[in-house]
Amino acid sequence: MTEERIESAADFAGAPDSFQRLWTPHRLVYIQHGQQPSEEKCPFCIGPSLADEEALIVHRGKTAYVLLNLYPYNSGHLLVCPYRHIPTYDQATPEEVLEIGELTQQAMKVLSTVSKAHGFNIGMNQGEVAGAGIAGHLHQHIVPRWRNDANFFPIIAETKALPKLLSQVRDEISAAWV
**Structural domain boundaries of the chain?**
47-176
Three-class SS of residue 137?
coil
Q: Please check the confidence at residue 178 and state whether its pLDDT lies above 70.
A: yes
pLDDT recorded at residue 2: 57
- Is residue 139 among the annotated active site residues? yes
- Which backbone phi and psi does 166 adopt, to 5 degrees? -55, -40
CA distance 115 to 49: 28
pLDDT recorded at residue 151: 57
Q: Kindly indicate the confidence band of residue 130, based on its pLDDT and cuts at 50, 70 and 90.
A: confident
Judged on CB neighbours under 10 Å (0-12, 13-18, 19+), 12 is exposed
Q: Please check the confidence at residue 132 and state whether its pLDDT lies above 80.
A: no
Averaged pLDDT for residues 109-132: 88
CA distance 11 to 5: 12
Averaged pLDDT for residues 35-47: 80
Q: Which residues have C-beta within 8 Å of that of residue 148, sequence separation ≥ 6?
A: none
Q: Please check the confidence at residue 28 and state whether its pLDDT lies above 70.
A: no
Query: Hey, what amino acid is at 62?
Result: K
Task: Give the global pTM.
Answer: 0.73
CB–CB of 141/77 below 8 Å? Answer: yes
Annotated active-site residue in 59, 77, 137, 139: 139
CATH of 47-176, one of 3.40.50.150, 3.30.428.10, 1.10.10.410, 3.30.470.20: 3.30.428.10
Averaged pLDDT for residues 95-117: 96
